């Protein structure tokens, strides 16, 4: 993982984790231990799904840039389906408070997306390789015409 990829991941993880800690504290006060567990599960689920998605997308961008947009759409769909399956499996659970889980899931997802967007906007990632023009000039200068 390159330094700008790790920086982007860090810019998304830190605020999401901070909101998760706040959600756990609020849920513990409002709904007790099951609320705190629900908030922890929601935070972990978002960080796992979004973190894996970001890493997979960055690797795809590096190795197969022509598939980047398609992979982004496929990844987004897969993330939604994974969360949907999780919600279906645990819809009637008594292991954690589902309201605390739902609010934490929503809040941390929104914070992750906002932080990731901000990280992309502030990152100074070149989308054009400035050395490629110089290499092309050198290649054409060296070939006989």
Q: Are the C-beta atoms of 75 and 17 separated by less than 8 Å? A: no
> Measured between alpha carbons, how far is 2 from 16 in angstroms, rounded to an integer?
21
pLDDT score recorded for residue 78: 93
Residue range 86-105: average pLDDT? Answer: 93
Quick check: 145 and 56 in contact, CB under 8 A? Answer: no
**Alpha-carbon distances of 9 from 24, 112, 140, rounded to whole Å:** 22, 10, 40
Of 23-27, 71-75, 79-83, which range is least confident?
A: 71-75
Q: Where are the beta strands (DSSP E) in 76-128?
A: none
């Amino acid at each position: 993982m390159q330094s700008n990829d790790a920086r982007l991941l860090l810019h998304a993880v830190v605020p999401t984790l901070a909101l998760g800690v706040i959600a756990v504290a609020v849920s513990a006060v409002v709904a007790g231990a099951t609320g705190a567990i629900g908030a922890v599960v929601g935070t972990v689920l978002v960080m796992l799904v979004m973190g894996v998605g970001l890493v997979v997308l960055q690797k795809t961008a590096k190795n197969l840039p022509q598939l980047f947009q398609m992979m982004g759409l496929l990844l987004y769909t897969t993330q939604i389906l994974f969360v949907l399956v999780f919600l279906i499996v645990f819809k009637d659970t008594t292991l954690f408070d589902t309201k605390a889980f739902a609010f934490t899931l929503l809040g941390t997802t929104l914070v992750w997306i906002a932080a990731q967007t901000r990280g992309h906007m502030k990152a100074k990632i070149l989308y054009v390789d400035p050395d490629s023009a110089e290499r092309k000039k050198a290649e054409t200068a060296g070939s006989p015409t």
